[in-house]
A and B are shown apart, each in its own frame.
Chain A
Amino acid sequence: MAMTEKQLEEILAKYPSKVQKNRKKHILVRDSAAETPQIIEANTRTIPGIITNRGCAYAGCKGVVIGPLKDMVHITHGPVGCAYYTWGTRRNKAKSENPEKNFINYCFTTDMQESDIVFGGEKKLAKVIDDVMAIFSPNAISISATCPVGLIGDDLGAVAKRAEEKYGIQVLSFNCEGYKGVSQSAGHHIANNGLMEHVIGKGDAEEAPAKYAINLLGEYNIGGDGWEVERILKEVGYHIVTIMTGDGTYEDLKNAHVAELNLVQCHRSINYIAEMLEIKYGTPWLKVNFVGVQATCDTLRDIAQYFGDEALIQKTEEVIAKELARIEAKIDQYKKICEGKTAFCFVGGSRGHHFQGLFKELGMETVLAGYEFAHRDDYEGRQVIPDIKLDADTKNIPDLHVEKDPERFRLKLSPERYEELKKKIPLSQYCGMNVEMKDGSVIVDDLNHFETEEFIKILKPDILASGIKDKYVIQKMGLPSKQLHSYDYSGPYAGFNGALNFAEDICMSFTSPTWNFITPPWKNEPLLVGTVTEEEGVA
């Protein structure tokens, strides 16, 4: 079902006028025939009081990007809560090659008390680092700031520097106070900039350790996505230098500069790092998408084309053929159940786009989609980046500028070949979500609770893909809801096996007999059943 402008106006009319004016800019009804490309406002403040799904910079920094690096101890400097809520809650899986240096199941906090707020928390932080070194002796430590830290003026950088001198290991500090920016996105920037500036390139490797060396950027291994992608890439013959940062390690990340190509899975959280790696080391980046069978096949072909090696292209086709033979018939079975159904797809920064393809493969249409914390380029494509106005919230996040590394910069492609490839594959390119959406479908930035309810009433979707905070709101309406941040304790959903898992889980949502019991039988039957008869009854 498509949405009309009039219906949209009716929803917006229920807002107070200021809110209405603001939200109007964040919602589009897709119209490919519009005279000028449709513009959506994104990455701006959420209005206070609005029940948003967004989190904070700390969640984006420590929770999303830094936390998955398994061989580091990550210390949260602040009161206990922030560390506690990012402990094991995001499903970024990690295997332990070296169990005694795997800290993924640990949670470290300075547990700031009132006296630390009053007198400063630097001393306590330094002492906690001493404790960590004495007990765990990790190869590196990260320190992430929480709201009060910035307010009281603790100098994390100085504490980190002194600890580095004392222990001879890297101690990275991140000023990712929760109030910075407007969403988790600010935290991704702070984290990734820190890794770019202080970790990548710190390794000794000068050459790629093997042929077809690649990095996988913006893959957080939720539910094991990264492992499935890794499985496929390895089978084709690629060598993965590092994954940023799902199941990633500090040690591997140091040598990220030797890769010949960077794959960008989540454009939102890492496209700027891909750009910097290209400027600094000459490594081009390719927008990839491993969600959905077709997307995975296209991506594999794009990567092979980048290297241009016939044997690799051949092997790619063999892997694709083998995988398709294995899963296609099974997915077709699931498609029979899903065909013709509609979905909302509201996720963080890239899945709101990526999963639409997978829904489509199951015969389902995405009638509403959006991102929780994306920027305009994730909707409209990278060509709008020069036009994006930098507001005060964005300017508060320090920008990182890199230059060509005089020793390690290597041109991986000739300018001619680069230009030629750009025409065929998404090299340094991302066209955004909007162009792939059907006319009449709705695109919403920072979808909130009120709008979720209203859009459901009008569009009547069969399933919603969203997060934990609105999952049960939706299910109370009798509609299945699929968490696409955490995958509802399932996964992987990426790659070929992932597509199959997803299809199976979506079908389970539709076919579960549990939905059939919502209405009690007595609601459909009057208490007294009698028949009107003219004959003499029993006395």
Chain B
Amino acid sequence: MLDCTPKEIKERTGGGLINPAKTCQPIGAMYAALGIHKCLPHSHGSQGCCSFHRMHLTRHFRDPVMASTSSFTEGSSVFGGGANLKASIKNVFTMYDPDVIAVHTTCLTETIGDDIPSIIRSAEVPEGKVVIHANTPSYQGSHITGFSNMVKGMVNYFAEATEPIKKEQINVIPGFVNPADMREIKRLLKLIGAKSVMFPDTSGVVDSPMTGEFQMYPEGGTTVAELKDAGNSKLTVALGRFASSDGAEVLAKKCLVPVATLKTPIGIKATDALLMVARRAFAKEIPAEIELERGQLVDIMTDTHFHFHGKKVAIFGDPDIVTGIAEFVLSLGMIPVHVLTGTPGGAIGSAVGSFEEDIQEMLSQAGVKGNVKAGGDLFTFHQWIKNEPVDLIIGNTYGKYIARAEDIPLVRVGFPVLDRSVHSYMPIVGYRGAMRLLEMISNALLDRQDRDAADEDFELVM
């Protein structure tokens, strides 16, 4: 497996990627758009883009992922895609009857410079229906940037400050996480008594139940009314700087809603931080039920610390998830020696800051020396591991090649997970999500210990 990858790291000057750790913007925009209730994402480009994105999302969620395409031909590429988009809008509303069409662009339509707002203005949009858009050039940033851009699109098109005084509610932008994570964040806020508008919200959309009936637009998703009302909230909590802070900043400018940008609440520290913000915002005490969960988590962490303490771990994936995981493993006493994301460090035009600086700061506080890279690829990640082996890899399904090549256990977290199931139904955020992560990490390490143990060292009790 991956026998062509040498240990020796030669400098690559081409700027290309070998085994990427990111994909392109449109899939993130498509995923975000699925989090609007009764919305059909529309891919303005060639058929292949839409097909690829639907394929990948479907494989990750094992649920229907509906989206339409402008089906570009060579002619439309030369003469512009206006006619294709207008025909699409007409056909989609007639046949599939969504409340919202969320158009995202592709590298094709960005390169030819299609002016989406003016095409939308000249399209036939039925009364009460809306077409929104986000520019998602595939040649900038990553799928996380695309997610962020579609969140901005939601704010641009919908959010309105209609009340003279802000309402006792907060907005939560959850970032590119699984529907189970969105549910868990909502559950925690509800327990505190904090009224929240989450957008996008894919829970109930891509984890819909089996009922014997297919619903093109399942129950879930943020409604248009909620998206409008986001402008009346007293605070926006942006979870994950890369996926969520841009949308929150746009909303702050548009509707004067202040922003609290936090880490994706993975692990104890980041979950504490989210709850503290909610506690202050609503002046409500954290209920006993949540305190119990936290106490249980800490109990497990202390009781089993010898399972993971001092183990070396390599983490890759999307920047907000990787940041959360890195912080959590540090709080477990693990040593993250390689930390990599494929997404560039600071998305163009945004104030998300430096992934590398953030992670290095965390590592140096813990006295850990490690390789940290934004905009990296899995070829580099593999070479790092060859030069400094680890006990565990945490990342998405693509890590399985390296895990096999180097015989290292892999804990699957993030997007995409294509070769295991149930992950999108189980949160990794909040205290209960942290328990689940801890279980996965411990099990992976202990299974390996069992596998490698000599008969005389094979333990019943561990």
A residues whose Cβ falls under 8 Å from a Cβ of B: 14-16, 19, 45-59, 75, 78-85, 87, 89, 96, 99-103, 105-114, 116-117, 124, 127-131, 134-136, 146-148, 150-152, 177-183, 392-393, 396, 449-450, 453, 468-478, 518-519
Contact = CB atoms under 8 A, between A and B. Distances in A.
A54 B89 CA distance: 19
Contacts of B215: 476
B461 interface: no
A59 B16 CA distance: 20
B91 to A, nearest CB: 3
A114 B140 contact: yes
Contacts of A477: 212-214
Interface string B48-88: 11011111101100111111111111111100000011011
B150 interface: no
B139 A59 contact: no
Nearest to A83: B20
Given A79-B138, A81-B24, A151-B77, A102 B91 contact: no
Contact of B55 (A48, A468, A518): A468
A476 to B, nearest CB: 4
A85 B55 contact: yes
5 contacts: A49-B95, A57-B48, A83-B20, A178-B47, A476-B208
B458 interface: no
A106 B4 contact: yes
Contacts of B48: 55-59, 82, 178
B290 interface: no
Given A112-B139, A178-B49, A476-B210, A89 B66 contact: no
A79 B112 contact: no
Interface residues of B, number: 84
Given A50-B71, A116-B139, A107 B18 contact: yes
The 6 A-B pairs of least Cβ separation, nearest first, read A56-B48, A81-B24, A49-B91, A49-B88, A178-B46, A127-B14
Contacts of A470: 64
Interface stretch (B103-111, B226-234, B318-326): B103-111
Nearest to A52: B47
B58 A472 contact: yes
Contacts of A111: 15-17, 20
A24 B240 CA distance: 49
B58 A468 contact: yes
B109 to A, nearest CB: 9
Interface stretch (B5-13, B162-170, B183-191, B330-338): B5-13
Given A106-B4, A392-B75, A519-B212, A147 B46 contact: yes
A56 B70 CA distance: 12
A397 B110 CA distance: 24
Given A87-B398, A111-B17, A128-B14, 18 more contacts: A46-B47, A48-B84, A51-B66, A56-B47, A100-B3, A109-B17, A117-B111, A135-B10, A135-B12, A147-B108, A148-B111, A178-B46, A178-B49, A178-B72, A178-B108, A180-B74, A182-B73, A470-B64
A476 B213 contact: yes
B1 to A, nearest CB: 7
B19 A107 contact: yes
A159 B102 CA distance: 38
A386 B165 CA distance: 73
B96 interface: yes
A311 B77 CA distance: 58
Contact of B58 (A54, A471, A518, A519): A471
Nearest to B206: A472
A484 B210 CA distance: 23
Contacts of A114: 137, 139-140, 348
B19 A151 contact: no
Given A80-B23, A396-B74, A148 B107 contact: yes
Nearest to B65: A469
B157 interface: no
Which among B45, B48, B54 has the highest number of chain A CB atoms within 10 Å?
B48
B415 to A, nearest CB: 12
Nearest to B66: A51
Contact of A102 (B4, B55, B88): B4
B33 to A, nearest CB: 14
Contact of B91 (A48, A80, A473): A48
Interface in B17-48: 17-20, 22-24, 26-27, 42, 45-48
Contacts of B14: 110, 124, 127-131
B146 to A, nearest CB: 10
Residue among B72, B88, B215 having the largest count of chain A Cβ atoms under 10 Å: B72
A308 B417 CA distance: 52
Given A83-B20, A134-B10, A49 B64 contact: no
A49 B92 contact: yes
B70 A48 contact: yes
Contacts of B27: 81
Contacts of A99: 3-4
Contact of A113 (B89, B108, B140): B140
B306 interface: no
B46 A179 contact: yes
A79 B63 contact: no
Contacts of B2: 105-106
A103 B4 contact: yes
A249 B94 CA distance: 48
A81 B214 contact: no
Nearest to B101: A49
B74 A179 contact: yes
Contact of B1 (A14, A51, A105, A124): A105
A100 B5 CA distance: 8
Given A135-B6, A472-B64, A79 B139 contact: yes
B15 A51 contact: no
Nearest to A372: B51
B13 A131 contact: yes
Given A100-B3, A134-B10, A478-B212, A81 B51 contact: no
Given A152-B111, A476-B64, A56 B46 contact: yes
Contacts of B284: none
B199 to A, nearest CB: 24
A518 B67 CA distance: 26
A99 B53 CA distance: 31
B211 interface: yes
Contacts of A46: 47, 71
A93 B97 CA distance: 41
Nearest to A58: B48
B19 A106 contact: yes
A108 B16 CA distance: 7
A472 B68 contact: no
A518 B212 contact: yes
A152 B113 CA distance: 12
B23 A81 contact: yes
B222 interface: no
A16 B91 contact: yes
Contact of A85 (B16, B23, B139): B23
Q: Kindly name the residue among A50, A130, A181 whose own CB sees the greatest number of chain B CB atoms within 10 A.
A: A50
A469 B58 contact: yes
